[in-house]
Amino acid sequence: MERLQKVLAQAGIASRRKCEELILSGKVEVNGKVVTTLGVKVNPAKDEIRVNGKPIQFEKKVYVMLHKPKGVITSVHDPQGRRVVTDYLKGITERVYPVGRLDYDTEGLLLLTNDGEFANLLMHPSHHVPRTYLAYVKGVPHGSLLDKLREGIMLEDGKTAPAEVEYYDVSPDQKESVISITVYEGRNRQVRRMFEKIGYPVTRLKRIQFGPLVLGGLPRGKYRLLSDEEVKELRDFAHKTNNVHN
């Protein structure tokens, strides 16, 4: 027997937290009875579970890496009709959801899956899965400013955790530089806010690595499925809770 919200998340309905909300709002039935509390356990092989009146189905689990272009919303639907990341997944029939988010103007590595448990594992703040970005800025920030980013910098939602920060490339005329930054938290617009704080707002931001996964040569707007080994590696990585850099 498993908790109802866990079974719903495993069936790819949504994240476990969203599934709890679905239960509390009376959208979930088990064997014909609406369940509105969170303690209920079910046997997914035997019990008939419906969400909004529709029986849940256990889809094959898929894990997708997308090279998100900029100008695309990290969502599966936009009421205003703007481009969303799932527009780029034409060959995927399973209902996958983004694991975390990249800003509209950020490009690079985005994971999507219909495995809600896996998504929760990777996004849980206590697992500190590192994310590496290339931040393009005008000019060349002084090393002492990069030290501030490394040590942690005060933002309106608190001080950032230590980060790894290196010069990645500097144009010969020193008019532009690319800084690689690895952060161990996933706060909203965090990297952009960190660079704004040191007076070097980013002009372009690209995520090139998420935990052990690298974007590599995957072309912009294209996706690929993760191998079983990659999924295992990610899972093992997230389970190690000592990923914090200090």
The catalytic residues are 103
Q: Is 190 in the site for ligand URA (CB under 6 A)?
A: yes
Question: Smaller CB distance to ligand URA: residue 191 or 208?
Answer: 191
Nearer to ligand URA among residue 118 and residue 210 (C-beta)? 210
Q: Are 195 and 155 spatial neighbours (Cβ–Cβ below 8 Å)?
A: no
Closest approach of ligand URA to the CB of residue 152, in Å: 15
- Shortest Cβ distance from residue 98 to ligand URA (Å)? 11
Q: From the CB of 235, what's the least distance to ligand URA, in Å? A: 22
- Measured in degrees and rounded to the nearest 5, phi and psi for residue 156 equal -65, -20
Position 191 contacts ligand URA (CB under 6 A): yes
Residues in contact with ligand URA, shown as a per-residue x/- string from 6 to 45 under the rule CB under 6 A: ----------------------------------------
Q: How far is the CB of 24 from ligand URA (least distance, A)?
A: 30
Binders of ligand URA in range 98-117 (CB under 6 A): 102-103, 106
> CB under 8 Å to 78, separation ≥6 — which residues?
84
Cβ contact 151:245 at 8 Å = no
Distances from the Cα of 6 to the Cα of 43, 117, 180, 215, 239, angstroms: 11, 7, 37, 30, 18
Residue carrying the six token digits 């800084």 = 179
Query: Which of 195/237 has CB closer to ligand URA?
Result: 195
Residue (of 143, 149, 210, 154) closest to 177 by Cα position: 143
Could you say whether residue 66 binds ligand URA (CB under 6 A)?
Answer: no
Residue nearer to ligand URA on the CB measure, 202 or 238: 202
Size of the site for ligand URA (CB under 6 A): 8
Q: What are phi and psi of 206, to 5 degrees?
A: -135, 125
Q: 156: Cβ–Cβ under 8 A, 6 or more apart, which residues?
A: none
Q: How far is the CB of 182 from ligand URA (least distance, A)?
A: 11
Q: Which part of the chain contacts ligand URA (CB under 6 A), choosing from 40-48, 57-65, 143-151, 185-193? A: 185-193
Q: Could you tell me which residues come within 8 angstroms of residue 65 by beta carbon, excluding any fewer than 6 positions away?
A: 109, 110, 111, 213, 215, 218, 223, 224, 225, 226
**Judged by CB under 6 A, which of 11, 42, 99, 205 binds ligand URA?**
205
The alpha-helical segments, DSSP class H, found in the chain are 4-10, 16-24, 116-123, 143-151, 190-197, 228-239
List residues near ligand URA by CB under 6 A: 102-103, 106, 189-192, 205
